[in-house]
Amino acid sequence: MENILIDKQDNVAVITINRPTKLNALNKATIQELHDAFKALNEDKEVKAIVITGSGEKAFVAGADISEFANFSVENGGKLAAEGQALLFDYVQNLSTPVIAAINGFALGGGLELAMACHFRTASDNAKMGLPEVTLGVIPGYGGTQRLAQLVGKGRAMEMIMTAGMVDANTALNYGLVNHVVAQEELLDFTKGIATKITRNSTVAIGKAIEAVNANYVDGVDGFKVEIKNFGACFGTEDFKEGTTAFLEKRKPVFPGN
Ligand code: COA
């Protein structure tokens, strides 16, 4: 991997996007590497939660790499968005392993879109978030028009997209775009702490919960029905047997993860 770093410790993997001289902008190679990393970590039984962040103190990700698409045609533009969404943004949203974005600075354009594709977000107090695409004569193409409205409401999303303005961390907290704001030097440990809490719970149940929550946002899918199906499916898992047995035996569960 040339553009990302992966660190695994105590069932938590940290992916760091590592192009600090380009403010971690997402070029094609980085998107492919991120896809490969998420796929491998999701298949790794030792990994029960993933944190993604950016290297350096300035940026999480300052957007898609503008230098790569400046000369694109209509066809190339559509393909860029479709391939990126399939390979990374939708892929992360639907991953059964929980993914938390630790936003450590600028999260702009594709950077905010990546953070929004994660299951939830934390931010450092210097973080700034926005979708500045219309300043370039383009619109968000990695799910930003959909996920921002889902997270902050249509009116706020419209304003952020039309003005191309950045919101600071506390405004993002107030909007519900991030769940927590902490000092930059504490961000990674703080977020890893949340990830560690998650690792103590049933990975199978968490994967089914992610699928059920996401179902609310898929056209033509009844999320309540997905919840009923997944709830029932839990009763056939080893994790369920262990969880209920441990409770009745007044001990902490040791989930086998299947
Ligand atoms: N794509 C490609 N390169 C990018 C980039 C992006 N989205 N964002 C930053 N960079 C590069 C800059 O070109 C610069 O490279 P250089 O040193 O080789 O010239 C380097 O990262 C540092 O950025 P710079 O603009 O000098 O930093 P700054 O502190 O002055 O400004 C930002 C920071 C984030 C405000 C500014 O970089 C910016 O506006 N970036 C683009 C944001 C954007 O429109 N994203 C949406 C893309 S769809």
pLDDT of residue 220: 95
**CA atoms in the 13 A half-sphere facing the CB of 162:** 7
Mind listing the pLDDT tens digit for each residue in 96-116?
999 999 999 999 999 999 999
Q: Which CATH class is domain 4-199?
A: alpha beta
For this structure, is 113 an active site residue? yes
pLDDT of residue 250: 98
Single out the catalytic residue among 33, 43, 83, 113: 113
pLDDT of residue 13: 98
pLDDT of residue 171: 98
Q: Is 65 in the pocket of ligand 1 (CB under 6 A)?
A: yes
Residues of the chain with pLDDT under 50: none
Q: Is 167 in the pocket of ligand 1 (CB under 6 A)?
A: no
For this structure, is 249 an active site residue? no
Q: What is the 3-state secondary structure (H, E, C) of the chain?
A: CCCEEEEEECCEEEEEECCHHHCCCECHHHHHHHHHHHHHHHHCCCCCEEEEEECCCCEEECCECHHHHCCCCHHHHHHHHHHHHHHHHHHHHCCCCCEEEEECCEEECHHHHHHHHCCEEEEECCCEEECCHHHHCCCCCCCHHHHHHHHHCHHHHHHHHHHCCCEEHHHHHHHCCCCEEECHHHHHHHHHHHHHHHHCCCHHHHHHHHHHHHHCCCCCCCHHHHHHHHHHHHCCCHHHHHHHHHHHCCCCCCCCCC
Q: For the chain, give every domain's residue range.
A: 4-199, 203-248
Q: Is 25 in the pocket of ligand 1 (CB under 6 A)?
A: yes
CA proximity to 98, closest of 162, 59, 51: 51
Whole-number Å distance, alpha carbon 108 to ligand 1 midpoint, is 10
Residue 59 CA: nearest ligand 1 atom is: 34
CA distance 94 to 96: 6
Single out the catalytic residue among 43, 83, 133, 227: 133
